[in-house]
């Protein structure tokens, strides 16, 4: 068969089919466990979940696991290797043990996330207008203005609705003390939300009873919320209902499934660059009945590819003169052009300061301490402690361009040393956070695997936070890299009401 | 709707219909060969010819021809390629087709790639081809009952019936290419069997015999498969369905064709209304059918220019219509 479902794993020889699920589970020695306070003793908000799932035999669990994989295969929620014509299609590994978050804890996170997106939007407005934050020397001007994500074409321009970041996916991790920390903000075109929705749908299919007993907050409203947010920032107010489209790079993009999923759920058209054209600074859709005006473009295309007449001239994915129409105020782009500066990992260390500067509030969410290699002291520290740190390229995402010091070979360390010295502005370093773990099904039965959490925040006229988010999980023992592009899997995230 | 999306709809159903008809052609040939001694070199070659394949080196080898028309990924007309292309078009417009359609389409796409499909082909070929036919029939049914009958659906109809019109004409033409040596005392019997096989491959055996059992099949069968106004696989009926879909899209009455696609359809339908099977036979059935197939091809081009490949970069776009 052309599709491989997850490798059928054998349970630990000692774990028989009759044995109940959590019987053999040993939490990680140092990391925070998302389910268990101590071996055999779940957190209060996980009690019902552990009680219920704990009644399952391993055999029953494995059967449901195959069932879940089949749902993904049959719905074609797969990615394929296109190097081969009959390329094998694979599903993104999905782990059936949910990752719970207590409602009370979530409410704090949610407030922290709201605070963060507000500050980021104010920062973007400032940086493209008066640059007060630079003049007040809260952020070094050269660091900000050298960012690859800074688009001088945006200077002095007010995007429709005043919003820059309409959707952000903020990556959170939990350290060994149980404290959530922000690892990065994805303010360009964050992906993965379709997996949140699909994972939940599959869980409800596979464990219907579980949801009757555990009170889990709904995630299913996301597409409507996003649609409302986009409508609220449409440029026209002439009575017609605004036309929203989702602009995708096309069917060969690995996130195409997500693009078509969201378009379907939002009830909007999925378009490619070739479906749009600009005339008289207005954007039109090529339809079978002639041109149709477009008001809002939810674009899943990076700035670079949006408009070959302004950005990369070799882009075939974009729409010529789109940026002119945008500057004329005739179309909303979500997210706005130029939000990449807020994604820059060398700007990220200043988000806490932005919150204090723009909102006069103390940040509710903390950053991971970060060394900015562009600064001499930070660079020296980084180079001296390379084997203890994680080094990241400032404009990369998806786990690319990254060095995990402790597990790196000396050749890799040398390579990064050279890279940092050659382009210090391109790198930051952080101490290694022992990410929290969650019980995950593996070749050895249930075992702790490191996880992170990406909540999605939607911002139009008001802000809405999806309860939960995407929990990504490393599948390799001890690995701290959870990105799907690096072989990670995902889990359903549960915001569990008090009393579980 | 978006021109590109309309084009994917059109081709998705075209490819599904093509897979079904390729299976029908392969099946009818198999049936014929069971009953008659046909010289090796004439057994399978006609199928290649009507599929427009003239350079296949193993045209005398029945297994290889079937393999080529069924499984060969490098042959864009093979059943495998057709299902692959149907699924790829469907994948691109998942947000347009219904969830049920997508899940079934994907299911059959996975099936054709599975060892189970191969094994069915090896061990029970006729059941394999029946299964291929059922794929399109099931999907057609699911489409009809789960998707809004709006513009996207009209484009699916347009693709399906245009492909079917062309395929029926080709199936009918198999007869021409199958130059069976006919000893005079067997001629009539062989002819009858050929016509019966062609009717069967179009699911037309029973409908035909209910109406025209008394007619000479030499005239009756082509007449039925080209001109019958009610039979859903006749060329005329398929073109009428195309016309209906095109006018649903534009919202104009059938009597007022305006765009190029509507005019091309109107002209071929009108011509089929004027001529009769006797005219076809006088001109030579093969020649007449070739002409029909070419005109259907031209309609495809007209559809392309009318809906999919429109030049929009004109200044006269002040009043966009919805």
CB contact under 8 A, B110 and A2: yes
Q: Are B235 and B171 in contact (CB under 8 A)?
A: no
Partners of residue A118 on adjacent β-strands:
none
Q: What is the mean pLDDT of chain A?
A: 90
A484 secondary structure, DSSP code = G
State how far residue B231 is from chain A, nearest Cα, in angstroms. 30
pLDDT over 90 (residue A495) = yes
Smallest Cβ distance to A274: which of B4, B93, B307?
B4
The pLDDT of residue A46 is 95
Residue B78, SS3? coil
pLDDT over 80 (residue A239) = no
State how far residue A1 is from chain B, nearest Cα, in angstroms. 4
Question: What percentage of chain A reaches a pLDDT higher than 90?
Answer: 75
pLDDT over 80 (residue A207) = yes
pLDDT over 60 (residue A287) = yes
pLDDT over 90 (residue B237) = yes
CB contact under 8 A, B2 and A3: no
d(CA B240, CA B229): 9
Handedness of CA A367, A368, A371, A374 (dihedral sign): negative
Q: What does the pLDDT average to over A444-472?
A: 95
Task: Quote the crossing angle between the two packed helices A222-232 and A256-266, to the nearest 10°.
Answer: 80
pLDDT over 80 (residue A79) = no
CB contact under 8 A, B4 and A74: no
Q: How confident is the model at residue A87 (pLDDT cuts 50, 70, 90)?
A: low
CB contact under 8 A, B110 and A284: no
pLDDT over 50 (residue A1) = no
The pLDDT of residue A80 is 56
Smallest Cβ distance to B92: which of A74, A86, A251?
A251
Q: What is the mean pLDDT of chain B?
A: 89
pLDDT over 60 (residue A346) = yes
Estimate the share of chain B in helix, then strand, then coil, as percent rounded to the nearest 5.
75, 0, 25
Question: What percentage of chain B reaches a pLDDT higher than 90?
Answer: 69
Tens digits of residue pLDDT in B121-167: 999 999 999 999 999 999 999 999 999 999 999 999 999 999 999 99
Tell me which chain B residues have a C-beta less than 8 angstroms from the C-beta of A257: 94
The pLDDT of residue A6 is 44
Tens digits of residue pLDDT in B11-49: 999 999 999 999 998 988 887 787 777 777 778 888 888
Residue A423 φ/ψ, nearest 5 degrees: -135, 70
CB contact under 8 A, B107 and A74: yes
Question: Considering the entire predicted model, what is its pTM?
Answer: 0.87
Confirm whether the ipTM is greater than 0.85.
no
d(CA A146, CA A395): 12
pLDDT over 70 (residue A208) = yes
Write the CA distances from B158 to A271, B14, B99, B253, B289, integer angstroms: 22, 8, 21, 17, 21
Q: How confident is the model at residue A485 (pLDDT cuts 50, 70, 90)?
A: low
Number of H helices, E strands in chain A: 15, 26
pLDDT over 50 (residue A313) = yes
The pLDDT of residue A9 is 45
Tens digits of residue pLDDT in B255-297: 999 999 999 999 999 999 999 999 999 999 999 999 999 999 9
pLDDT over 70 (residue A12) = no
State how far residue A326 is from chain B, nearest Cα, in angstroms. 19
Reported as half-sphere exposure (CB side, CA atoms, 13 A), residue B83 has a value of 31
Q: How confident is the model at residue A76 (pLDDT cuts 50, 70, 90)?
A: confident
The pLDDT of residue A227 is 97
CB contact under 8 A, A286 and B3: yes
Q: Does A482 touch chain B (CB under 8 A)?
A: no
pLDDT over 60 (residue A316) = yes
C-alpha closest to that of A215 among A447, A475, A498: A498
Q: So where are chain B's domains?
A: 3-180+189-308
Smallest Cβ distance to A272: which of B4, B107, B151?
B4
Q: How confident is the model at residue B187 (pLDDT cuts 50, 70, 90)?
A: low
The pLDDT of residue B186 is 55
The pLDDT of residue B184 is 54
Tens digits of residue pLDDT in B68-90: 999 999 999 999 999 999 999 99
Pairing of strands A332-334, A366-367: unpaired
Residues of B at the A interface (Cβ-Cβ below 8 Å)? 1-6, 73, 88, 91-95, 102-103, 106-107, 110, 113-115, 151, 249, 307, 310, 312-313, 315, 317, 320-322
Tens digits of residue pLDDT in A117-148: 999 999 999 999 999 999 999 999 999 999 99
Low-confidence winner among A16-25, A246-255, A294-303 (lowest mean pLDDT)? A16-25
pLDDT over 90 (residue A284) = yes
The pLDDT of residue B34 is 76
Q: How confident is the model at residue B316 (pLDDT cuts 50, 70, 90)?
A: very low
Taken in order of first residue, the domains within chain A and their CATH numbers are: 106-192+219-357 (3.40.50.11290), 369-431 (3.30.1490.270)
State how far residue A288 is from chain B, nearest Cα, in angstroms. 5
d(CA A46, CA A210): 12
pLDDT over 60 (residue A303) = yes
CB contact under 8 A, A85 and B73: yes
pLDDT over 70 (residue B181) = no
Q: How confident is the model at residue A238 (pLDDT cuts 50, 70, 90)?
A: low
CB contact under 8 A, A260 and B95: yes
Q: How confident is the model at residue A3 (pLDDT cuts 50, 70, 90)?
A: very low
pLDDT over 90 (residue A397) = no
Q: What does the pLDDT average to over B89-100?
A: 94
pLDDT over 90 (residue A14) = no
Q: Does A270 touch chain B (CB under 8 A)?
A: yes
Tens digits of residue pLDDT in A165-198: 999 999 999 999 999 999 999 988 898 999 999 9
The pLDDT of residue B176 is 77
Would you mind telling me the total number of residues written for chain B in this entry? 322
């Amino acid at each position: 068969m052309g599709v491989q479902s997850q490798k059928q794993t054998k349970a630990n020889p000692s774990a028989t089919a009759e044995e109940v699920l959590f019987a053999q589970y040993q939490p990680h020695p140092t990391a925070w466990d998302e389910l268990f306070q101590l071996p055999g003793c779940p957190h209060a908000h996980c009690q019902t979940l552990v009680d219920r799932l704990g009644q399952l035999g391993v055999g029953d669990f494995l059967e449901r696991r195959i069932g879940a994989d089949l749902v993904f295969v049959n719905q074609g929620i797969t990615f394929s290797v296109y190097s081969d014509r009959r390329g094998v299609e694979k599903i993104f590994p999905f782990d059936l043990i949910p990752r719970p978050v207590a409602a009370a804890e979530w409410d704090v996170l949610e407030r922290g996330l709201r605070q963060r997106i507000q500050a980021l939007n104010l920062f973007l407005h400032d940086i493209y207008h008066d640059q007060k934050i630079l003049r007040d020397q809260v952020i070094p001007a050269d660091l900000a203005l050298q960012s690859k994500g800074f688009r001088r074409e945006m200077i002095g321009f007010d995007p429709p609705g005043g919003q820059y970041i309409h959707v952000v996916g903020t990556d959170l991790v939990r350290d060994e003390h149980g404290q959530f920390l922000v690892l990065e903000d994805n303010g360009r075109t964050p992906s993965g939300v379709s997996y949140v929705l699909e994972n939940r749908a599959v869980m409800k299919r596979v464990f219907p009873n579980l949801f009757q007993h555990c009170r889990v907050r709904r995630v299913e409203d996301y597409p409507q919320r996003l649609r409302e947010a986009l409508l609220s920032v449409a440029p026209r107010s002439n009575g017609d209902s605004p036309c929203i489209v989702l602009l995708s790079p096309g069917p060969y993009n690995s996130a195409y499934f997500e693009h078509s999923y969201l378009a379907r759920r939002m009830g909007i058209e999925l378009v490619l660059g070739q479906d749009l054209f600009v005339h008289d600074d207005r954007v039109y859709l090529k339809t079978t009945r002639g041109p149709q005006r477009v008001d809002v473009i939810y674009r899943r295309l990076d700035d670079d590819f949006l408009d070959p007449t302004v950005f990369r001239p070799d882009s075939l994915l974009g729409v010529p003169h789109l940026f002119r129409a945008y500057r004329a105020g005739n179309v909303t782009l979500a997210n706005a052009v130029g939000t990449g500066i807020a994604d820059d990992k060398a700007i990220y260390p200043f988000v806490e300061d932005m919150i204090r500067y723009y909102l006069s509030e103390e940040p509710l969410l903390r950053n991971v301490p970060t060394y900015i290699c562009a600064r001499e002291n930070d660079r020296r520290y980084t180079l001296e402690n390379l084997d203890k740190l994680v080094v990241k390229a400032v404009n990369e995402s998806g786990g690319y361009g990254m060095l995990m010091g402790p597990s790196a070979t000396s050749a890799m360390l040398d390579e990064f040393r050279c890279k940092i010295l050659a382009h210090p502005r391109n790198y930051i370093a952080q101490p290694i956070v022992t990410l929290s773990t969650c019980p995950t099904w593996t070749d050895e039965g249930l075992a702790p695997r490191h996880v992170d959490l990406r909540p999605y925040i939607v911002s139009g006229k008001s802000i809405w936070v999806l309860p939960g988010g995407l929990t990504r999980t490393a599948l390799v023992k001890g690995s701290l890299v959870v990105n799907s592009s690096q072989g990670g899997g995902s889990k359903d995230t549960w915001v569990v009401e008090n009393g579980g | 709707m978006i021109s590109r999306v309309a084009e994917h709809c059109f081709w998705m159903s075209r490819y599904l219909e093509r897979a079904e008809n390729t299976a029908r052609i392969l099946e009818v040939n198999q049936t014929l060969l069971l009953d008659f001694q046909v010289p090796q070199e004439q057994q399978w070659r006609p199928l290649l010819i009507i599929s427009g394949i003239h350079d296949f080196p193993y045209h005398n080898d029945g297994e290889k021809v079937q393999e080529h028309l069924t499984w060969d990924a490098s042959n864009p007309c093979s059943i495998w390629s057709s299902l692959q292309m149907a699924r790829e078009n469907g994948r691109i417009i998942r947000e347009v087709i219904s969830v049920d359609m997508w899940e079934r389409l994907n299911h059959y796409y996975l099936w054709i790639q599975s060892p189970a499909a191969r094994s069915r082909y090896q061990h029970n070929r006729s059941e394999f081809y029946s299964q291929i036919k059922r794929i399109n029939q099931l999907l057609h049914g699911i489409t009809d009952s789960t998707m809004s009958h709006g513009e996207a659906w009209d484009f699916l109809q347009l693709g399906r019936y245009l492909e079917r019109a062309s395929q029926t004409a080709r199936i009918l033409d198999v007869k021409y290419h199958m130059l069976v040596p006919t000893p005079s005392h067997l001629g009539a019997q062989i002819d009858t069997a050929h016509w019966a096989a062609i009717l069967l491959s179009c699911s037309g055996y029973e409908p035909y015999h209910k109406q025209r059992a008394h007619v000479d099949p030499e005239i009756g069968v082509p007449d039925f498969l080209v001109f019958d106004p009610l039979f859903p696989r006749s060329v005329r009926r398929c073109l009428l369905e195309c016309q209906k879909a095109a006018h649903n899209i534009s919202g104009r009455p059938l009597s007022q064709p305006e765009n190029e696609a509507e005019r091309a359809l109107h002209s071929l339908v009108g011509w089929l209304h004027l001529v009769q099977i006797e005219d076809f036979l006088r001109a030579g059935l093969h020649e007449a059918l070739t002409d029909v197939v070419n005109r259907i091809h031209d309609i495809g081009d007209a559809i392309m220019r009318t809906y999919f490949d429109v030049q929009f970069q004109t200044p006269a776009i002040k009043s966009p219509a919805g």
